Amino acid sequence: MSECLVLPGIGGVAVQAILLICCIGVFYFKLRKEEEALGADARTRAEFLLDASKQFAGAGLIHLMNLGFATFLNSFTSHGDQCEWYWINIMVDTTLGTAVAYFLLQIAKAFIKKRFSPEAAEDFKSGDYKTEEGVIDFTRYMKQLLVWLVIVSCMKILMVMVMFIFSGPLLAVAGVVLAPFLTQPWLKLLVVMIVFPLIMDGFQIWIVDNFIQKKRFPLFSAETAAQDPEAGTVYVEASANALLNFSQRCEDVAETALLSLTARYHEAMHSDAHGERLHELPDKSGNFETQFKDVKFQTIIRPDQLESPR
């Protein structure tokens, strides 16, 4: 039986195109359901497209990282094949990774509120792209997109660490789940890159869209908030404070290093300028006759200093 490869030529590219079309279909279905359920309270088409584009950008980044990590983990661990590792990537990212991305987003929100002024922090409020005049501000969108890409990148790195630590059990689970499809590599590839991604990516798209869009309704009921007003915020605040302290330390180190480099630069420039001035001074050790040809010397000896001949 030949080894299952994640991208076996043009067929693999076609598989990726099919998956992209299916994901777009999931977004369209969610838009229709939201408009039917909320009516006038639903997001505008423009807001929905901006939210969806953030997910597409993040999913594209994760997909590229998945392809690379699938090959890396396969060669590094020498167990399983690329299809098994790609399946593990998909399953871990869409389950545990979705929860991690949610908490990272909450930490990012708390950190931004602490780090920036209230006016600047407003630009990073997830899903809120409009100014006070109701016009979409693409600067806000780019800031939120950058934050989301950082979040999904951190999530992916954490998930790779989880997969590396628990590689044995995860490969065992992947072997059991994919065992019925081992007879044909193309069938295994189809299941790994179409069936499971379609189901799990659809689940992830739905969940992530719910927490990256602008909040129009409270997440908890009034009774829940009254019972535990600090629910779910203790660890977020602690993490945000730790991140804030880390960023301040980094700024202090960078500022110290910059001042040191500036001082060394000025010192070097001063030394170079001093050397140039010394180089420009006349060479007094040169031709004595040329320098002092107009100077006449006269020696005067007193009579009492003359020595009598012996």
Q: What is the reported pTM? A: 0.72
- Whether 257 shows a pLDDT value over 70: the answer reads yes
- Whether 295 shows a pLDDT value over 60: the answer reads no
Q: Which two tokens stand for residue 261?
A: 């480099």
Q: At what angle do helices 96-115 and 234-280 cross, to 10 degrees?
A: 60
- The overall average pLDDT reported for the chain is 77
Q: In the chain, what are the domain boundaries?
A: 10-217, 234-267
Residue labelled with tokens 């890409």 = 149
Residues 176-180 have a mean pLDDT of 87
- Whether 210 shows a pLDDT value over 80: the answer reads yes
